[in-house]
């Protein structure tokens, strides 16, 4: 946990942005897997962590904007619980570690909130994404659970998004701790990418590194020889010579800051010529995009530049034809690059996706496009110093998508479908780094993980 003053300052900064009322942050509780007592690994809510720092279940934080007070609600363990869980530090002592002086048992929260409602005071809360918290808000505030998301406070969402998007020095250090572990995961995976190895063996080794460091993965690992499936969580294939492995994975630091890295490597250490050609196109698109990043530029324009670079490269291979500007405008490149260039990252791997893409990724200067490909862009607005975003272009050959576009005669003036057929079984390539926007431009976070062709081949060939 950070020092207490960091949490106090964060709450103070938030309080100044909210006109009046009470701000309620519900922490997460344990969530059952297959029977009540058998729970998933506990993961605290990220906004609760950001403002109240305590990483345990069953807590709620309340900021009284008008009275300038912060309060934590939660229950200390009783003797029966001590038998099973051991003694736990008292809430009042833990609260002090995050700069909170007032604590109460959880059952007092409902009374305080009901009193505030009777006085006509506004209760601000964020949209809950867990059913348990939706039901809790129903009980606490008397709002039908189906309507709870509609009553979330837009004023609070906007304030939290603005605050959490800008990462402080301490947060960057945490993200880079996650990168140290993620470096180990990826280099280990590359060394294991040999014919005859199961995907799941590599996943097991990588996740073992994370768990033995006392951390969690930031999201379910994507490791596959079928990289054309963007979020493939099946790990049962055997690696074969001639295929590539897409590894999109990352650890969280012990304070839950994420890393999210993708590398693509050839099985047994040697790209084929077509693989190398496409790999270089993706790498060029990624580097070009990172080069462009600086405060003020819209991330949508960075995405479009990456799309243009991919389309130009594919034109050289004969897969795209005609004028590249027109092809990108028509969205023809999205047959091969159907997703967005990246997303913000921090305490969540898709930072604050629970608060709504229209608040996190878009603003009055840039509206969401409905065009296939661009519609999947999670973040489009102008960059600011302190933002952390992933930059993850890719090129994929998705047989069903190719067939559909061909059948619909989509973008026939820009796509040579006959040539595309030759790549039908190619798979996919994605390369991803996490990038901090600085005053001057941008910096790739973490110790560099091999991504040049020669570096990737060398480490993949290592025994
Ligand atoms: N890296 C996985 C994701 O962005 O969802």
For the segment 431-447, what is each residue's pLDDT rounded down to a tens digit? 999 999 999 999 999 99
Ligand 1 centre and the CA of 76: distance in Å?
A: 37
Ligand 1 centre and the CA of 193: distance in Å?
A: 21
What are the pLDDT digits (tens) for 319-334? 999 999 999 999 999 9
Homologous superfamily (CATH) of 4-165 is Creatinase/prolidase N-terminal domain (3.40.350.10)
Q: For the chain, what is the largest distance between any 2 Cα atoms, rounded to a whole number of angstroms?
A: 75
Q: Which atom of ligand 1 is nearest to the CA of 390?
A: 4
In whole angstroms, what is the distance from residue 354 CA to residue 156 CA? Answer: 13
What are the pLDDT digits (tens) for 104-156? 999 999 999 999 999 999 999 999 999 999 999 999 999 999 999 999 999 99
Q: Is 260 in the pocket of ligand 1 (CB under 6 A)?
A: yes
Domain-by-domain residue ranges, the chain? 4-165, 169-460
β-bridge pairing 102-104 and 69-73: parallel
What residues pair up with 432 in beta bridges, in sequence order?
262
- Comparing 4-165 with 169-460, is the CATH topology the same? no
Q: What is the pLDDT at residue 232?
A: 86
Q: Match 């243009």 to its residue by tokens.
A: 308
Residue 369: which residues within 8 A CB-CB, separation 6 or more? 375, 377
What is the rounded average pLDDT of the residues 370-381?
A: 97
Q: Match 């305590």 to its residue by tokens.
A: 54
Q: Which atom of ligand 1 is nearest to the CA of 262?
A: 1
Is the model's pLDDT at 463 over the cut of 90? no
Q: Is residue 105 classed exposed, middle or buried when 0-12, 13-18 and 19+ CB atoms within 10 A define those classes?
A: exposed
CATH code given to domain 169-460: 3.90.230.10
Ligand 1 centre and the CA of 397: distance in Å?
A: 19
Identify the H or E element spanning 404: helix 399-407
Residue to probe by mutation, ligand 1, list 206, 219, 338, 354, most atoms within 8 Å of CB:
219
Q: What is the mean pLDDT of the chain?
A: 97
Query: Residue whose CA is closest, atom 2 of ligand 1?
Result: 248
In whole angstroms, what is the distance from residue 351 CA to residue 363 CA? Answer: 16
What are the pLDDT digits (tens) for 155-171? 999 999 999 999 999 99
Which of 322, 313, 443 has its CA nearest to residue 383?
443
Is the model's pLDDT at 69 over the cut of 90? yes
Q: What is the pLDDT at residue 462?
A: 85
Residue to probe by mutation, ligand 1, list 258, 348, 349, most atoms within 8 Å of CB:
349
Q: Which atom of ligand 1 is nearest to the CA of 343?
A: 4
Which of 426, 414, 338, 352 has its CA nearest to residue 388?
352
What is the rounded average pLDDT of the residues 365-378?
A: 96
- Side-chain half-sphere CA neighbours of 222 within 13 A: 20
Ligand 1 centre and the CA of 393: distance in Å?
A: 12
Q: What is the pLDDT at residue 212?
A: 97
Residue 20: which residues within 8 A CB-CB, separation 6 or more? 65, 66, 121, 122
Is the model's pLDDT at 262 over the cut of 80? yes
Q: What is the pTM of this model?
A: 0.96
Ligand 1 centre and the CA of 284: distance in Å?
A: 21
Ligand 1 centre and the CA of 349: distance in Å?
A: 7
Q: What is the pLDDT at residue 249?
A: 98
Model confidence at 343, pLDDT cuts 50, 70, 90, reads very high
Q: Is 151 in the pocket of ligand 1 (CB under 6 A)?
A: no
What are the pLDDT digits (tens) for 382-404? 999 999 999 999 999 999 999 99
In whole angstroms, what is the distance from residue 428 CA to residue 72 CA? Answer: 48
Model confidence at 26, pLDDT cuts 50, 70, 90, reads very high
Ligand 1 centre and the CA of 260: distance in Å?
A: 7
């Amino acid at each position: 946990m950070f020092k207490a003053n960091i949490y106090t300052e964060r709450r103070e900064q938030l309080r100044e942005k909210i006109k009046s009322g009470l701000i309620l942050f519900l922490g997460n509780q344990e969530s059952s897997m297959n029977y009540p007592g058998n729970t998933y690994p506990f993961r605290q809510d990220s906004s609760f962590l950001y403002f109240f720092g305590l990483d345990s279940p069953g807590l709620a934080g309340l900021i009284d904007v008008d009275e300038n007070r912060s309060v934590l609600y939660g229950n200390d363990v009783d003797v029966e619980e001590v038998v099973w869980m051991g003694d736990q530090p008292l809430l009042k002592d833990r609260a002090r570690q995050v700069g909170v002086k007032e604590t109460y048992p959880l059952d007092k929260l409902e009374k305080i909130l009901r009193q505030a409602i009777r006085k006509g005071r506004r209760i601000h809360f964020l949209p809950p994404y867990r059913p348990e918290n939706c039901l809790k808000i129903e009980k606490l505030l008397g709002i039908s659970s189906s309507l709870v998301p509609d009553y979330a406070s837009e004023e609070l969402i906007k304030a939290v998004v603005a605050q959490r998007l800008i990462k402080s020095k301490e947060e960057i250090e945490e993200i880079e701790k996650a990168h140290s572990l993620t470096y180990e995961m990826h280099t280990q995976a590359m060394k294991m990418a040999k014919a005859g190895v199961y995907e799941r063996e590599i996943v097991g080794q990588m996740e073992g590194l994370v768990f033995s460091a006392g951390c969690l993965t930031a999201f379910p690992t994507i490791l596959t020889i079928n990289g054309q499936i963007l979020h493939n969580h099946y790990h049962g294939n055997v690696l074969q010579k001639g295929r590539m492995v897409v590894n999109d994975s990352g650890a969280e630091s012990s304070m839950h800051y994420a890393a999210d890295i993708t590398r693509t490597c050839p099985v047994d250490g040697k790209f084929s010529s077509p693989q190398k050609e496409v790999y270089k196109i993706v790498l060029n698109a990624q580097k070009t995009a990172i080069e462009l990043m600086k405060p003020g530029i819209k991330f949508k324009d960075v995405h479009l530049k990456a799309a243009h670079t991919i389309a130009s490269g594919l034109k050289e291979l004969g897969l795209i034809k005609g004028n590249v500007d027109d092809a990108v405008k028509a969205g023809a490149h999205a047959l091969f690059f159907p997703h967005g260039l990246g997303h913000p990252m921090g305490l969540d791997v898709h930072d604050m996706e629970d608060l709504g893409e229209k608040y996190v990724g878009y603003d009055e200067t840039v509206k969401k496009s409905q065009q296939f490909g661009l519609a999947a862009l999670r973040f489009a607005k102008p960059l600011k110093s302190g933002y952390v975003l992933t930059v993850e272009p890719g090129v994929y050959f998705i047989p069903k998508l190719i067939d559909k576009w061909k059948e619909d005669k989509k973008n026939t003036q820009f796509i040579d479908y006959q040539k595309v057929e030759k790549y039908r079984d190619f798979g996919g390539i994605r390369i991803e780094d996490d990038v901090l926007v600085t005053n001057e431009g941008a910096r790739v976070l973490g110790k560099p993980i091999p991504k040049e062709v020669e570096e990737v081949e060398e480490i993949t060939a290592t025994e």
